[in-house]
Amino acid sequence: MSERTLVLVKPDGVERGLVGEVISRIERKGLKLAAMDLRQVDRKLAEQHYAEHDGKPFFESLLEFITSGPVLAAVVEGPRAISAFRQIAGGTDPVDKAEAGSLRGDYALEVQYNLVHGSDSPESAERELKLWFPDLQA
Ligand code: RTP
Ligand code: MG
């Protein structure tokens, strides 16, 4: 059964020219792009997207970072797309958690500048897809 996940290439990844690398790995894994959009994230969308982290010490700098430059937002679909993309991304901390061979393991050093986002569960995916792509057909 196919599922959908929200993938973001964060401002660091766009700035460093790694959009193609991210898309390439998604496609090579066998996942499909259902929608894609380069956009500037405003404070409101950033707060809604990262609502679960409200109150944490890194929340404010996370909002500043995600609104600091264009973000590539994509809807990615395929069998087990949510877990499959989390595997491609690697763990949140790019050195201690992300394995070599993952995007974060290969291209990132600091936890805030960890290149990509992927929804972490079916519930998160549903919420985030509504937020970022409200007009997307089911
Ligand atoms: P994401 O939501 O961006 O896909 O990342 P994730 O699930 O792997 O990690 P999550 O726990 O949801 O954290 C969201 C983002 O917040 C930043 N962060 N900074 N300074 C810190 O300790 C810290 N911890 C998390 C990262 O950019 C992380 O991706
Ligand atoms: Mg997360």
Residue 114 lies in a domain: no
Q: Which of 22, 7, 1 is nearest to 124 (CA)?
A: 7
Q: Which residue, by CA, sits nearest to atom 2 of ligand 1? A: 117
What predicted TM-score, i.e. pTM, was given to this entire model? 0.96
Q: How far apart are CA 53 and CA 57, in angstroms?
A: 9
Number of domains in the chain: 1
Residue 28 lies in a domain: yes
Which ipTM value was assigned to this complex? 0.92
Q: How far apart are CA 123 and CA 95, in angstroms?
A: 28
Summarised one tens digit per residue, pLDDT across range 70-101 is: 999 999 999 999 999 999 999 999 999 999 99
Residue 103 lies in a domain: no
Place of tokens 């970072």: 65
Domain that holds residue 30: 2-89+120-132
The verdict on whether residue 127 carries a ligand-binding annotation is no
The verdict on whether residue 92 carries a ligand-binding annotation is yes
Q: Distance from the CA of 92 to the center of ligand 1, in angstroms?
A: 6
List residues with catalytic annotation: 117
- Find the CATH number of the domain harbouring 55: 3.30.70.141
